[in-house]
Amino acid sequence: MKPKFGVVVFPGSNCDHDAYYALKKVIGVDVNFLWHKDTDLKNSDIIILPGGFSYGDYLRTGAIARFSPIMNSVINFSQKGGKIIGICNGFQILLEAKLLPGVLLKNKSLQFVCKDVYLSIENNDSFFTKGLDKNKFYKIPVAHGEGNYFADEVTLKSLVENDQIVFKYSSSDGKIDEESNPNGSLMNIAGIINKEGNVLGLMPHPERSCNPVLGKNDGNLILTAIVNNFMN
Amino acid sequence: MFKVKVLVKRRPSILDPQGMAVEKGAKHLGFNNIKDTRIGKYVEFTVDAGEKKSAEKEVKEYCDKLLINPNLEDYEFTLEEIA
* DSSP secondary structure, A62-94, as one string: TTTGGGSHHHHHHHHHHHTT-EEEEETHHHHHH
> What is d(CA A61, CA A56) in angstroms, rounded to the nearest whole number?
8
> What is d(CA A33, CA A83) in angstroms, rounded to the nearest whole number?
16
Segments of chain A with pLDDT less than 70: none
What tens digit of pLDDT does each residue of B1-31 get? Answer: 999 999 999 999 888 888 988 999 999 999 9
pLDDT at site B17: 83
pLDDT at site A124: 96
Catalytic hit among A88, A96, A144, A210: A88
Query: Whats the size of chain A, residue-wise?
Result: 232
> Which of B13, B21, B66 comes nearest A63 by C-beta?
B66
pLDDT at site A100: 98
Of the residues A55, A59, A112, the best mutation for testing chain B's interface (the one with the most B CB atoms within 10 Å of its CB) is: A59
* Total domains present in chain A: 1
pLDDT at site A150: 95
Of the residues A57, A58, A60, the best mutation for testing chain B's interface (the one with the most B CB atoms within 10 Å of its CB) is: A60
Interface of A with B in 136-165 (CB under 8 A): 148, 150-152
CATH number of B2-81: 3.30.1280.10
Distance from CA of A147 to the nearest CA of B (A): 13
pLDDT at site B13: 87
Specify whether A114 is catalytic.
no
pLDDT at site B15: 84
> What is d(CA A211, CA A127) in angstroms, rounded to the nearest whole number?
23
pLDDT at site A193: 98
Residues of chain A contacting B13 with CB distance shorter than 8 Å: 152
What tens digit of pLDDT does each residue of A32-62 get? Answer: 999 999 999 999 999 999 999 999 999 999 9
A48: domain CATH number?
A: 3.40.50.880
Q: Are A28 and A5 in contact (CB under 8 A)?
A: no
Distance from CA of A62 to the nearest CA of B (A): 11
Q: Which domain holds residue A35?
A: 4-231
pLDDT at site B83: 76
What tens digit of pLDDT does each residue of A51-91 get? Answer: 999 999 999 999 999 999 999 999 999 999 999 999 999 99
